[in-house]
Structure 1
């Protein structure tokens, strides 16, 4: 009999998109760095202090733009109930972090877990399944059509530049009005709002990567004003950049 649940940690260098499918319910946390996840046309950013809960047997694509360290817990499908959603990203509270740390003692093995370990893993599942009912707002925009996905890629590649929507539309072969309608239909927001969100999400990755000054990060993602950067960041995350970075180490 294989273990009801087990944990492991792993370090990664930058990697391109890789499909992941596991036969257990998968709790994935980024200890350092940030991961990008995509499933069923939706995309998420997973910085430290957040977790992703992936239902067994359901595919997700994972990319690692910068070096990262992850901590994972896998639950046998007969040990815990299935998560409500295919993939959910949510904030970890101190209890969940403490339980995840304690679970790290038990790696993959053939023998069943001892009673204490079973109780700890069950408690972690109960806490994180509940936290998953309140998803994190750190969601990345995604599109369905080739034109919108290309427009998103071009926008992401030039976050620190002065971009014009007309230039993006021309690059994907559409008139601005047509691309604007595509954004509203596929992304659910305007291109300008998408640009603002992508800049904040890139800032989240940079905040997780190292201790670079917040002013430097603001300029790198295209903000000439620190106050404008702080306002955009707070609008999406409800905290300031410095407050968000502090959650990584609490």
Structure 2
């Protein structure tokens, strides 16, 4: 009989997207590097400051853009209650990160958990289930139609190159008005709003990856001024880039 909960700690080289459907409630997060998660027509980036809580049996797609170390936990459906939502991405607080670190000792095994370990996993579930009630707003659409998915990919590839909506529309073979309608219908927001979120997501990835100056990151993701970048970043995440980076550093 497997444990009611166990920690999954492993270091990965960059990997393309692969589909998963965990049979347990899955707390997916990284202790180093970043993970990319796609599900339900949306996409998220998971640096060490953020986690995803996924209900058992929910299909997801995960990719690893850079070397990363997971710090995830899987909960048996009899050990932890059903999550507040089928999938939620949220910011981890210091208590949740400490509990995650404490659970690393107990990996997948047929040995039962000690009373202490069981209490630790139960506390982690209680804290993260509560945090999952406040989803993070840093999410971008994944798109349903081939045209919109292509438009999203092109936009992401050219964040720092002065990407223009008209050029993206031409490359996917749609008139700008038709592509704008696709964004409204499939993404629920304008292309410019998606672009803004993509730039913040790309900045989060760079903030998690190393110690590059914030100014360099701002220019790399397409902002012409540090003040505009800071304002956009704080409006979406509630923190400045420097504060956000500090939130997932020891």
Q: TM-score, normalised by structure 2?
A: 0.96
CA contact 2:21–2:59 (8 Å) conserved in 1: yes
Partner of residue 31, structure 1:
31
The Cα shift of 1:137 comes to 1.4
Q: Could you tell me which residue of structure 2 aligns to residue 172 of structure 1?
A: 172
Query: Separation in 2 of the partners of 1:165 and 1:21?
Result: 35
Q: 1:85, 1:183 → 2: CA distance?
A: 25
Q: What does 1:63-212 align with in structure 2 at a 5 Å threshold?
A: 63-212=63-212
Secondary structure of residue in 1 paired with 2:95: helix
Determine the C-alpha separation between the residues in 2 that align with 1:163 and 1:25.
Answer: 39
* Corresponding pairs, count: 250
| Residue 10 (structure 1) aligns with | 10
| Structure 2 unaligned residues grouped into runs of 5+ | none
Deviations 1:208-242 (A, max 9, x none): 00101111111111112111111111111111111
- Matched residue SS, 1:160: helix
Alpha-carbon offset, residue 8 of structure 1: 2.7
Report the Cα distance in structure 2 between the residues aligned to 1:94 and 1:242, rounded to whole angstroms: 17
Aligned to 2:161, the other structure's residue is in SS state coil
Q: Secondary structure at the match of 1:53?
A: strand
- Tell me by how many angstroms 1:86 deviates: 2.0
Post-superposition offset of 1:113: 0.9
Is the CA contact 1:42–1:142 (under 8 Å) kept in the aligned structure 2? yes
Whole-angstrom CA distance in 1 between matches of 2:248 and 2:98:
14
CA distance in 2: counterparts of 1:244 and 1:97, whole angstroms? 15
Distance 1:115 1:139 in 2: 38
The TM-score with structure 1 as length reference comes to: 0.96
Q: Please, what is the CA RMSD of the aligned residues? A: 1.2
Runs of 4+ in 1 over 6 A off after TM superposition: none
| Superposed displacement of residue 70, structure 1 | 1.2
What is the alpha-carbon distance in structure 2 between the residues aligned to residue 166 and residue 159 of structure 1? 15
Aligned to 1:218: 218
Tell me the distance in 1 between the aligned counterparts of 2:18 and 2:236.
Answer: 27
**Quick one: distance in 1 between partners of 2:49 and 2:101?**
13
Counterpart-to-counterpart distance in 2, 1:98 and 1:164: 44
CA contact (8 A) 1:45 1:140 kept: no
The alpha-carbon deviation at position 133 of structure 1 amounts to 0.5
